[in-house]
């Protein structure tokens, strides 16, 4: 009984937060349709034929479905206010097909992706979308490769790099809090500018529950994270509680001179 009440409460908080996200997006509309029109969808289909699905691949991984993925990534851009921010330098970890950084570029930001080269389809899509990426694998307790620059924003959407391997029951063995601590320290000290932000977004677990178990929530909060739904936002300075709105660039806020071509208003 107590558990079901707790679950109800959780769902109602999530429902309110979801509604809030919808309202925020609605007040600053972005036309996914106009963005989609800038992408060569026939070439995406051709790439998929060239690099077919792996056996047992999940349909969610239909990255040639640009209409779906542009829709998803428009929301990411809106939620981080990237459609309204001055030009930023953005590093996207596990950049996958490259849609997020493609959108970032449309809004005047400069992006760099990082991913393994295991998925040949992503090699093709990042080239097609003009997304620059570093081929590297993120390992627990191992510094990321030196990228010789720092960023205003480091992102990871639908993060997978913390999954190490599946056990005999098919359950993922994941990074421990100590692994996360190492990673966050590495990002803070080597990749974030002083005002920079780290945004991590996680898929729900296989049973539908949040990535943020009680223990992980407490850990991320101890690192100064603001947790909102599936996302954790961290500032470069652990003592600063970051906000999603108004991520700044440095040292001066660059003036945006052109009008936003993707706005529906």
Per CB under 6 A, residues contacting ligand SAM are: 94-96, 115-116, 118-119, 122, 137-138, 157-158, 160-161
Q: Based on CB atoms, which residue is closest to ligand SAM, 126 or 223?
A: 126
Distance CA 126, CA 102 (A): 9
Q: Based on CB atoms, which residue is closest to ligand SAM, 138 or 154?
A: 138
**Helix 2-27 crosses helix 66-79 at what angle (to 10 degrees)?**
90
Which of these, 229, 222, 159, lies nearest to 185 by C-alpha position? 222
DSSP-based helix, strand, coil % in the chain, nearest 5: 35, 20, 45
We find the least distance from the C-beta atom of residue 1 to ligand SAM, in angstroms, to be: 36
We find the least distance from the C-beta atom of residue 157 to ligand SAM, in angstroms, to be: 4
Distance CA 154, CA 91 (A): 5
Q: Based on CB atoms, which residue is closest to ligand SAM, 116 or 213?
A: 116
H helix or E strand, kind and range, residue 193: strand 192-201
We find the least distance from the C-beta atom of residue 70 to ligand SAM, in angstroms, to be: 11
Q: Based on CB atoms, which residue is closest to ligand SAM, 45 or 118?
A: 118
We find the least distance from the C-beta atom of residue 256 to ligand SAM, in angstroms, to be: 26
We find the least distance from the C-beta atom of residue 7 to ligand SAM, in angstroms, to be: 26
We find the least distance from the C-beta atom of residue 164 to ligand SAM, in angstroms, to be: 9
Q: Are strands 133-135 and 172-174 parallel, antiparallel or unpaired?
A: unpaired
We find the least distance from the C-beta atom of residue 249 to ligand SAM, in angstroms, to be: 22
| Contact assessment for residue 96 and residue 63, using Cβ atoms and an 8 Å cutoff | yes
H helix or E strand, kind and range, residue 179: helix 177-190
Question: What would the two tokens of residue 83 be?
Answer: 């459609």
Q: Whose structure tokens read 């005999």? A: 168
Q: Based on CB atoms, which residue is closest to ligand SAM, 34 or 158?
A: 158
Q: Based on CB atoms, which residue is closest to ligand SAM, 96 or 196?
A: 96
| Contact assessment for residue 119 and residue 137, using Cβ atoms and an 8 Å cutoff | no
| Contact assessment for residue 108 and residue 87, using Cβ atoms and an 8 Å cutoff | yes
Whole-Å CA distances, 15 to 19, 80, 259:
6, 20, 34
Q: Based on CB atoms, which residue is closest to ligand SAM, 145 or 194?
A: 145
Which of these, 216, 224, 218, 228, lies nearest to 80 by C-alpha position? 228
């Amino acid at each position: 009984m107590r558990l079901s009440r707790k679950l109800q409460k959780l769902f109602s908080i999530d429902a309110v937060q979801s509604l809030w996200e919808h309202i925020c997006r609605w007040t600053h509309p972005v036309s996914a349709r106009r963005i989609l029109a800038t992408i060569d969808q026939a070439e995406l289909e051709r790439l998929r034929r060239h690099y077919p699905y792996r056996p047992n691949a999940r349909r969610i991984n239909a990255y040639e479905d640009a209409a779906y993925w542009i829709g998803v990534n428009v929301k990411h851009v809106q939620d981080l206010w990237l459609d309204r921010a001055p030009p930023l330098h953005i590093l996207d970890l596990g950049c996958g097909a490259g849609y997020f950084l493609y959108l970032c570029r449309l809004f005047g930001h400069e992006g760099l992706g990082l991913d393994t080269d295991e998925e040949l389809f992503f090699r093709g899509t990042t080239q097609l979308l003009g997304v620059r990426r570093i081929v590297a694998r993120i390992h627990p307790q191992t510094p990321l490769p030196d990228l010789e620059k720092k960023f205003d924003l480091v992102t990871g959407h639908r993060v997978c790099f913390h999954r190490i391997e599946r056990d005999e029951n098919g359950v993922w063995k994941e990074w421990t809090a100590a692994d996360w601590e190492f990673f966050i320290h590495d990002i803070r000290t080597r990749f974030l500018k002083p005002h920079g932000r780290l945004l991590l977004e996680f898929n729900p677990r296989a049973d539908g529950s949040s990535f943020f178990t009680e223990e992980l929530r407490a850990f991320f909060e101890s690192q100064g994270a603001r947790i909102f739904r599936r996302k954790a936002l961290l500032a470069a300075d652990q003592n600063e509680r970051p906000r999603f709105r108004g991520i700044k660039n440095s040292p001066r806020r660059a003036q945006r001179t052109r009008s936003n071509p993707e706005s529906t208003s």
